[in-house]
Every structure is written in C-alpha cells, then in structure tokens.
Amino acid sequence: MSPELRARFGIRWSPIKQRQADVLAALSRAITPILPRRARVSGPTYLRLRRKSIARDEFAPESYRRASMR
C-alpha cells in the first residue's frame, strides 16, 4: 500500500511493520508450493470446483442451479 493511501486511511506504518509484512509475504510465497491442494484452493476457484454440490443444496442461489443444468 502506498504511503499516500496509508495516510488517507489513517494507517500508521513503520520500518518494523514493513519488515514484518515483507517476511510474511516471503513466507507465503515459499510455502505455497508445498501446501496441499485443499489449502491452496480458495475463493472463486473453490466455488467453481464445488458448483455442482452447491447447486444440489436447497438454499443454493438460482444462478448455481441454472449453471449446473448445462
């Protein structure tokens, strides 16, 4: 996040916080290849993979039901 955006949102930042963010980002990039697939797949990809199961649920949105008919 740019310094201007942090200032706009009132987010305090320091060299220590930047270092922590850098370490966390590096750790995330390093560990991703060794994570099991179920831990790597999230968000829209997860929903696409589960579309048919979701469509069978009685509370599923109509868009899921229509898509599963194709």
Mean pLDDT per 10-residue segment, the chain (70 residues): 91 94 96 88 82 83 72
How confident is the model at residue 59, as a pLDDT? 83
Task: Report pTM.
Answer: 0.52
Number of domains in the chain: 2
Same domain as 30, residue 15: yes
Quote the pLDDT of residue 51.
82
DSSP 8-state class, residue 32: G
Pair (49, 65) in one structural domain: yes
User: Residue 64 CA to chain centroid, in angstroms?
Assistant: 21
Same domain, 21 and 1: yes
- List the Cα angle 13/40/35 in 5-degree steps: 95
